[in-house]
Structure 1
Amino acid sequence: MEHCKKSRRFLSLLLVIVFMLSLAGCQSSGDEGKPIAEKPSETKIVTDLLGNKVKIKANVEKIAVVPIPWATIVYAVDGSGKKIVGMHPSAMKAYQKNILKVMAPEIANANSTFVDNNFNINYEEVAKLKPDLVVIWDYQPEIGKKLAELGIPSVAIKYGTLEDVQNGIKLVGEILNQQERAAALIKYQQDTNSYLKSKESTLAGKNKPKTLYLRDEQLQVATGESVNKIMINNAGGVNVADEVTGDSWKKVTMEQVIAWNPEVIILSNFSEILSEDLYKNKLSGQDWSKIEAVKNKRVYKAPMGIYRWDAPCVETPLMIKWLGKVFHPDVFTDYDMRADLKTFYQNYFNHTLTDPELDQILSSQLNPDLKI
């Protein structure tokens, strides 16, 4: 009898164990026997603009940026500057005097000494930043190798065309898991390009003003290999320095400028040069008095938004539209520059521009003869 009781207790215990194991089995499987989803990977692979496959953190939180305009591309794609831990000193210089300082005050904390003006990196300093990723130029493979030795991944970017900029925006979107924001910025660029193409037939019958894009007081000009040439062409102008090759910017002589005799001069924001410097012949060793653009008061300071519009960036479509108003106000009549700017900043940066901010971006006070 006692033996039977023990057998029944043993059988009951066995049934309980089997029942508990079956419950555990159900819990270890998803609904309808599906396996539990694996833990999301902590890394991912992106392909940079040279075709390199780069393993990076799935959620990048800290980025150091070597190329000058690309810190603002990171900001535009991410909608914040919080992930920017390092940027080029020239980019920081632009930041300190443009509207981005108001829109993203956090960028002021970014290190701007880990890289010098010639894009050389201080490896000890960049290591202290502990970045998840460094953005470098396409011509810096040795820097990429040294960063890899420090355990820091890097992606290479390039630009020489507007398509390069768009590909770079797409890459940043993939890095930051912001594909939708990146796609929207790219679509704006492509839509603007389509609009500009629609004006080509009208512009074909127009005089295309000979234009000099002047970087600084040292007579560095935008060459035939610069993105500025593309900007000028797309807006219905002709770059007088098309024959100059080798670099995007190159120093020329005053005699060469006189021979070109540009009808319009655009002054970049890479220097503090102003139209008055040319109108009043303030630059030592240079005589601008015989230049057509100077005689007709057609020297203009380029705009600067979240970055200098002189260089390819997310605002390049706006730069070309501005040039269109400068060259052919009778052709580019179907948009208002100030309204377009307000819409762009609202849609892509979630920032409502004030009238003083619009004037600041468009360099209105520096261009009193230009009614935009």
Structure 2
Amino acid sequence: MMLTNIDCRALSAVCWQNALKILLVCALFGKVLSAEFPLEIVDNSGTKVLLPKSPERIVVGGGMWPLPSLVVMLDSSAKRLVYIPRASANALRSSFLLDFYPEIAQIPAGNSENIEELLGLKPDLFVCHSANTKLCESMRKTKIPTIALSVSKWEYDSSRTLQGWLEIFAPIFNAEQKAAKILQWVSDTQEFVKSLPQPLNAPRVVILHRFDNQRHFSVGGLFANYLLQHSGARNVISQKNIQNVTLEELYAINPEIIYLNHFNDKLPKDILESKLWQPLDAVQNKRVYKFPLGSYRAFAPSVDLPILLLWLQARHYPHRDFQLREKISAYYKEVFDLTLSNAQIEKILNPTAQAGALE
């Protein structure tokens, strides 16, 4: 099994319950992803895209920030990326991946949507956010193979979204087996968390995104419901869309745990040391945490999803021993053949503020 060193009885139950799912995943990747070039795929907008050859010059634009890290992890290289969003570059350069793929530091980055400028990069594959219809359609008219990816097609289910992206990109990089391993880890982790005893009152949690200032910020929404539901917590801001709230409104909600994701540059000490935040239970009990930074910002769908779910469960229930560092080491070794040092694992668990830079 992919998950190691966890309670044997729980793992055994997970294995039996998950066996059929694993077989279905393998069948899916065997049927859908075994392909040769020229390769025809259907992107998340339902458009058929023909790739005449294996792409060597990939441009990512149109706000598709999570995609560059997925390319690096599937291809075990960053050399095909010739232009990526600036927010993607900031995350990659702050992650452990820079140690393994130093070419990351040299990838040109920006937020250009100028067609002539993008064509000047001579891409043989362009990837964009499906919500940016103007840019996606403009690039398609140039006859450059253009793949549009969605973050909302699967109702902000992180697992299904990741699978939808892998179904498109795994065959491009001949990474079908790697993709199946990723999805198996995700499925195993979800089942493992479900198998654990759940308290009557799950911790009340809020995830903070961007800060306008100390008194106004955005919370919840998007993938928050999935992540907290599948890690054993209660999302106190359960609306589907991100909500803008004031500090006074957060006082009224009074969460037990506050998580800071990587779409801001705040660290726990910024909240814990602020006099404005002291009335909150989460602050008084020092339960303010920064999301880990794996290959990308963990709140968004990425190959780091199984590690994030385990990390969240460990933060929700700190009295349980999840042997998290051992899991991190096992996952990246077994799936990606990356041997992480203790320092690199610490970097995942204690990222810098720079990882949250979006510009």
Smaller-chain TM-score bracket: 0.7 to 0.9
After superposition, the C-alpha distances for 1:215-265 in whole angstroms (9 at most, x for unaligned) are 233243342x4212211111111111114x4x3x33211111111101001
Q: 2:190 aligns with which of 171, 190, 193?
A: 193
CA change 1:353–1:236 in 2 (3 A) is same
After TM superposition, the structure 1 stretch with the greater mean CA deviation from structure 2, 212-221 or 234-243, is 212-221
CA change 1:222–1:171 in 2 (3 A) is farther
Deviation at 1:41, TM superposition (A): 8.2
After superposition, the C-alpha distances for 1:332-358 in whole angstroms (9 at most, x for unaligned) are 54x411001111121233221111111
Q: Which secondary structure does the structure 2 equivalent of 1:360 belong to?
A: helix
Report the residue type matching 2:226 in the other structure: I
Partners of 2:310 and 2:37 in 1: CA distance: 43
Q: 1:279 aligns with which of 272, 276, 280?
A: 272
TM-score with structure 2 length normalisation? 0.80
Is 1:69 aligned with 2:62?
Answer: no
- Provide the residue aligned with 1:343 in structure 2: 330
- Provide the residue aligned with 2:226 in structure 1: 230
Deviation at 1:288, TM superposition (A): 0.9
Q: Which secondary structure does the structure 2 equivalent of 1:215 belong to?
A: strand
Report the residue type matching 1:207 in the other structure: N
Report the residue type matching 2:350 in the other structure: S
Deviation at 1:365, TM superposition (A): 9.6
- Provide the residue aligned with 1:80 in structure 2: 77
Q: Which secondary structure does the structure 1 equivalent of 2:40 belong to?
A: strand
Is the 1:173–1:182 contact (alpha carbons within 8 Å) kept by the matching residues of 2?
A: yes
Q: 2:125 aligns with which of 133, 136, 141?
A: 133
Superposition pairs for residues 1-372 of structure 1, below 5 Å? 43-66=38-61, 67-113=64-110, 115-116=111-112, 121-159=113-151, 160-161=156-157, 162-199=159-196, 202-203=197-198, 205-218=199-212, 219-223=216-220, 225-243=221-239, 245=240, 247=241, 249-281=242-274, 287-330=276-319, 333=321, 335-363=322-350
Percent identity over the alignment is: 28
Deviation at 1:127, TM superposition (A): 0.6
Pick the structure with greater CA Rg.
1
Partners of 2:182 and 2:36 in 1: CA distance: 28
Is the 1:63–1:84 contact (alpha carbons within 8 Å) kept by the matching residues of 2?
A: yes
Is the 2:208–2:217 contact (alpha carbons within 8 Å) kept by the matching residues of 1?
A: yes
Is the 1:95–1:307 contact (alpha carbons within 8 Å) kept by the matching residues of 2?
A: yes
Q: Which secondary structure does the structure 2 equivalent of 1:129 belong to?
A: coil
Let me know the Cα RMSD of the aligned residues: 2.2
How many pairs are equivalent? 309
Deviation at 1:296, TM superposition (A): 0.7
Partners of 2:297 and 2:343 in 1: CA distance: 18
Report the residue type matching 1:336 in the other structure: Q
After superposition, the C-alpha distances for 1:139-162 in whole angstroms (9 at most, x for unaligned) are 233322211222211111122212
Deviation at 1:295, TM superposition (A): 0.7
Partners of 1:252 and 1:197 in 2: CA distance: 31
Gaps in structure 2 of 5+ consecutive residues:
1-34, 354-359
After superposition, the C-alpha distances for 1:30-67 in whole angstroms (9 at most, x for unaligned) are xxxxxxxxxx9862211112222111123121211231
Partners of 2:124 and 2:190 in 1: CA distance: 34
Is the 2:219–2:244 contact (alpha carbons within 8 Å) kept by the matching residues of 1?
A: no
Partners of 2:167 and 2:37 in 1: CA distance: 21
After TM superposition, the structure 1 stretch with the greater mean CA deviation from structure 2, 292-301 or 41-50, is 41-50
